[in-house]
Amino acid sequence: MLVGKRISDRYKIIGLIGGGGMSNVYLAHDMILNRDVAIKILRYDFTNEDELHRRFQREALSATSLTHPNIVSVYDVGDDGDLHYIVMEYVQGKTLKQYIQEFAPISPARSVHIMKQLTSAIANAHENHIIHRDIKPQNILMDAEGNVKITDFGIAMTLSATSFTQTNSVLGTVHYLSPEQARGGTATNKSDIYALGIVLYELLTGELPFSGESAVSIALKHLQAETPSVRAFDATIPQSVENVVLKATAKDASHRYSTVEEMQEDLETVLSPNRMNEPKFVIPVDNDVTKAIPIIKEPTLRKDEDLTKTRAIEPITQSKPKPEAKKPVEKAVPVKKKKKWPLYVAGLVIAAIAISLFLLFATSPKKISVPDVANLTIVEATKKLEAEGFTVGEEPQERYDEDIEKDKVIETNPAEGTERVKGTEVDLVVSLGVEKTKVDDYRGQQISQVQSMLKGKFLEPEISDVYSTEPEGTIIEQEPLPPEEVIAKDTSMKFKVSAGVKMVTVDNVVNYTKAEMDEYVSRQGLKWRISREDYNNTVAAGSVISQLTKAGTSVEAGSTIAVVISKGPAEKPVKTYVTTVVIPYEPTEEGIEQQIRIEVQDKIHSMAKPYAEFPITSDKEYKIQFVVEEGQQVAYKILRDSQIIAEESFNYDDIK
């Protein structure tokens, strides 16, 4: 049991995440970098297979060359005794398979968004000459933000090589297996495109296009049956989206997208309104070729097969037709033979000479020159060396180099141009890039001292002055920050240095409103407060009457200005007066209503608005109440049928 153990004195195993046919995946903690990682460990029953082990390491090293936001990063590859492991990025979330099971069917927009991430990742892998070979939702992880990342790069390629060697079978998950793989052919980039098409089908429908009771029965459907229509499942799915599925899953690889990039370009516009009702994708018919389609029979089915796992699928082949019965041949008339023994003797002599020459030269191994692989990636260098007949050492040497960029080959051992026999192992020396320097923390130090320390090591620093309460010349901020590592000779440190405290000259703020005060102090880097509020007959209410910090005074930035705010003019004495008026009823015809309107002008009333309105059919006594402010003149007016019949005005002092 590995839980609790430490691998290579660095990775502490926390728990088992999952497992497959060839390896198990554990959650581990990187004790050096203090982060959680996923660690894939080759199962014990495969550790003694040297070829598998070498390929496992080689393909894992290839995967480290893949850097893409939608590919799970490979951090480290190594051995610890009999344990062979790969350390990968730990993605906290769920698999795409779990997401489909929980939320399917997925909307076309969301499905296309996911597929664009997947095609971008696979395109990156193909650019690096890596074919995934086992694309399926179980190998796609989804984080909490809904971003997807593909995992298990290179491992499927490793295991398939072993499968071919041992059983001549094809490795893959049968539900996503391309027709050419099912026939026992070599997987290509178009095999990955086929699997992506199946994944899109599953996203849109929540189902797999082909199912059966055994792996072989499903593989037969990949070979013989057309991909079902997603629009038959949901008619609202645009035809343009279905066309992506149909083209990606075409039986003949030549009818699929040429590259994953082409598929990605199609996905970019697939939801455009002008494409929603485009014609259905149809496989072009080749009228010049007539093909005989054989009937392929399915072998006996097994009820207990797990069809979701990556597995070895025996290639489906057609039995050869029995040869036609030979026609009888007429008996030849015997002819007298000539003696041929002298020819036989001559032939034997020539053969003996040829064999002697062959043994002479064949037993002397031919030497070939080690090719130049400098500036190539490990994958490119390995391919070139193997193509020349050399093998490549499992553990490349590493060293810093100012001229060769990181992860590219500096030189080989034996050196380029050295002659060696075929099969010689060549070790690679790989660049770690330019050696980096860990940045120190210079904050709180004087800029003059730091400049002296950095001179000759770093580029000239970029310095900007900022006002601060720190002593003048003190470094307040820096970029980059420790413990970042940088290439010193290419790096210019950036420093913000204290210029001391900023001084501000106070302006005359009398008559400023509160809003104007807010804007002023914000602009000057000051604050303000109300000392008190007083009545004032000349300064409007809410504006500054006076300031306690006099205009022209210099203060530190951040200081507070105290001001006196106006409450407006002081209130005057008020009297309340009530007068009673008699409104005479004088109709032109007895019994007719007359309309009365009373208008008042005082502290709270205006003649623009009626004080009272009512009808009368007889004389009416009415009380009018006035609110009179000191120094104010008030008045009233009575209208009967719109005619003024009484009006009067009087002053504050007239009221006793």
The residues annotated with a catalytic role in the active site are: 134
Q: What is the Cα–Cα distance from 52 to 62, expressed in whole angstroms?
A: 15
* Residue 237, helix vs strand vs coil: coil
Q: Distances in Å between the alpha carbon of 391 and those of 87, 211, 264, 409? A: 25, 43, 37, 16
Output DSSP code: residue 176.
Answer: G
Q: How far is the C-alpha of 640 from the C-alpha of 622, rounded, in Å?
A: 14
Neighbours of 283 (CB within 10 A): 13
Do residues 204 and 246 touch, judged by C-beta distance below 8 A? no
Of 395, 493, 404, 398, the C-alpha closest to 445 is 493
Structure tokens at 603: 């502290």
User: Angle 263-266-272 (CA atoms, 0-180°, nearest 5)?
Assistant: 155
The amino acid that residue 9 corresponds to is D
Distance separating alpha carbons of residues 415 and 429, to the nearest angstrom: 10
Strands 6-7 and 11-19: antiparallel
Q: Could you tell me if 260 and 121 are in contact, meaning their C-beta atoms sit under 8 angstroms apart?
A: no
Please answer whether residues 461 and 451 qualify as being in contact, where contact means their C-beta atoms are separated by less than 8 angstroms. yes
The verdict on whether residue 40 carries a ligand-binding annotation is yes
Core vs surface per residue 569-593: b (16+ CB within 10 A) or e: eeeeeebebeeeeebeeeeeeeeee
Beta strands in 256-405 (DSSP E): 311-313, 367-369, 391-392, 397-399
User: Which residues in 3-25 are b (16+ Cβ under 10 Å) and which e?
Assistant: eeeebeebbbbbeeeeebebbbb
Residue 588 contacts by C-beta under 8 Å, 6 or more apart in sequence? none
d(CA 345, CA 196) in angstroms, rounded, equals 66
SS3 label, residue 52: helix
Rounded to an integer, what distance in angstroms lies between the CA atom of residue 133 and that of residue 195?
A: 8
Pairing type for strands 367-369 and 148-150 reads unpaired
Please, are residues 652 and 632 in contact by the beta-carbon 8 Å criterion? yes
* Closest of 150, 194, 200 to residue 172, by C-alpha: 194
- CA 317 to each of CA 114, 225, 249, 512, 587: distance values in angstroms, whole numbers, following the listed order: 36, 17, 21, 94, 121
Q: In what order do the strands lie in the sheet with 527-534?
A: 527-534, 560-566, 544-547
Q: With beta carbons less than 8 A apart as the criterion, state whether 65 and 378 touch.
A: yes
Give the amino acid at 583: I
Residue 45 makes CB contacts below 8 A (sequence gap 6+) with none
Query: Hey, what are 289's tokens?
Result: 């070729």
Q: Are 517 and 466 in contact (CB under 8 A)?
A: no
Token couple for 251: 């039986």
Please enumerate in sequence order all residues whose Cβ is within 8 A of that of 552, keeping only pairs 6 or more positions apart, or say none. 505, 506
Look at the alpha carbons of 457, 462, 465, 470 in this order and tell me if their dihedral is positive or negative.
Answer: negative
* 612-616 vs 594-601, strand pairing mode: antiparallel
Q: Which residues are annotated binding-site positions? A: 40
Q: Which residues are annotated binding-site positions for ATP? A: 40
